[in-house]
Amino acid sequence: MSEALPADWEPSPSERVYYRRARDGQLGWFMRQDGHDCIRLDRNSQRIVVPYRPSEWIEDKDHRPLTRVHVAQIALTADNHLCRSLGLHDLAKREWLSMSPDQRLEWMDKGPRARKERQDLWRAIMTAMAEHSK
């Protein structure tokens, strides 16, 4: 399979084939670097590439990327904790399922309307998790 690939190749997120390291369960995807088969570990901002040895890695056939809804729910939970810390107790009680469909869509697309801290947190989570979602 890898013989037909370029010497330096990294798949787009939708084309990734994920593997788990048998020894410790770390997750990564198959790629090629300098003509060698490699696994790039699934880390947000770190680029960690290790050699691919078939005896050490098992294809993760059940890998399911997070959906955009999952990421938005994570951002809402983090925002609830931040609101509690900021003394915004009514906002800290919001739950995803209690929001209307329009409110959920607006949250996914724009995040919170007020307080720069909340907007920054929402943006950071949505950006960091974008590579893990489909």
- On average, the pLDDT of the chain sits at 90
71: tokens are 């990421």
Give the model's confidence band at 13: pLDDT under 50 very low, under 70 low, under 90 confident, else very high.
confident
Over 80: is that where the pLDDT of 118 sits?
Answer: yes
Alpha-carbon gap, residue 103 to 99, rounded angstroms:
6
pLDDT in tens, 52-78: 999 999 998 876 777 888 899 999 999
79 burial via Cβ count (<10 Å: 0-12, 13-18, 19+): buried
